[in-house]
Amino acid sequence: MNEPIILLTGASSGIGKSAAELLMNRGAKVYGASRRGGEPQKAQNGTGEIIPVKMDVTHEEEIKAVVTRILAENGRLDVVICNAGNGIAGAVEDTSDEEMRYQYETNFFGVVKTINACLPVFRSQHSGKIIATSSVAAIVPIPFQTFYSSVKASLLIFMQALTIEVKPFGIQCCSILPGDTKTGFTESRKCTIASQSPNSPYFDKMNTSVERMEKDEQNGMSAESVAKKIVYQVYNKRMKISVVPGIQYKIICFLFNRVPASLRLWIVGLIYG
């Protein structure tokens, strides 16, 4: 794919923005989806470009409209990269049903809706690549971000099962599992309403845990380093089923499930509990 046609969600900032720019400079035509849109960009040397599109991944009709536009303008769609996401922190007991659903609507159901809008296209072409941004938190559960960890774990398993379903149609799937990454995601993370009350029995530990996480994120990998892994899979003939950027996170994920559950949870508790 010298000039792939790509739909990329969460393209306005962080990993998504970096990936869109890298892909553009490789010659790709990227439809960069976000809720607020943006300004078109063209590569200085080459044919690559970023075409911003307003699209909320929780609204099925908006997704279908964008896919229809891509097909009308290009006659094909080669890759969808599901990168849009958000985060919410707070103890399970301090999380309302509405706050819990907020976490799942974008990070899981938004991904499913986006992929489902693209699957008929990929099947008819007998080709297509699906890339989704999960997280190391899918492997290593983070206390007080329990719903974030659980939704990323759900997404990881979803992508693996989907791989089996769509393989006969020539469609490939890949999950990207970043660890701590320095992006605007840290500042945009929400805390549940109940967790912000000093009367919460989890108040002190929750704040200590989130402060540690935010410090790690702001000293973490660059968005570009994660984006490069996404770009590599786009152009790789045979995508990997999952990719963990950063050697330290590869080691963590490799070792985590090879020690007793009580020990690994004790270690995570020491760091974040």
- State residue 53's pLDDT score: 97
Q: Active-site residue 12, yes or no?
A: yes
Which is catalytic among the residues 18, 34, 134, 150?
134
Distance of CA 137 to the CA centre of its chain: 12
- State residue 45's pLDDT score: 83
- State residue 257's pLDDT score: 85
- State residue 152's pLDDT score: 97
Set out the domains of the chain in order of their start, with CATH numbers.
5-272 (3.40.50.720)
Distance of CA 133 to the CA centre of its chain: 3
- Among 224, 221, 268, CA closest to 247: 221
- State residue 27's pLDDT score: 95
Which is catalytic among the residues 152, 202, 229, 242?
152
Which is catalytic among the residues 148, 202, 249, 272?
148
Question: Residues 6 or more apart from 144 whose CB is under 8 A from it?
Answer: 89, 90, 91, 195, 202, 205, 206, 209, 210, 272
Whether the pTM exceeds 0.75: the reply is yes
Locate tokens 């398993």: which residue? 157
- State residue 186's pLDDT score: 81
- State residue 104's pLDDT score: 96
pLDDT along the chain (273 residues), means of 10: 91 95 96 91 91 96 98 98 94 96 96 98 98 96 95 98 98 97 86 95 93 88 96 96 96 92 92 82
Q: Active-site residue 197, yes or no?
A: no
- State residue 11's pLDDT score: 95
Distances (CA, A) of 51 to 6, 30, 48, 254: 10, 6, 10, 38
Q: Active-site residue 134, yes or no?
A: yes
- State residue 37's pLDDT score: 82
- State residue 184's pLDDT score: 84
The β-bridge partners of 50 are: 30, 41
Q: Is residue 268 within 8 Å of residue 156, measured between CB atoms? A: no
DSSP string, 45-76: SSS-EEEEEE--TT-HHHHHHHHHHHHHHHS-
Question: Residues 6 or more apart from 255 whose CB is under 8 A from it?
Answer: none
Burial code (b: 16+ CB inside 10 Å, e: under 16) for 160-174 equals eebbeebeeeebbbb
- Please give the structure tokens belonging to residue 191: 């805390």
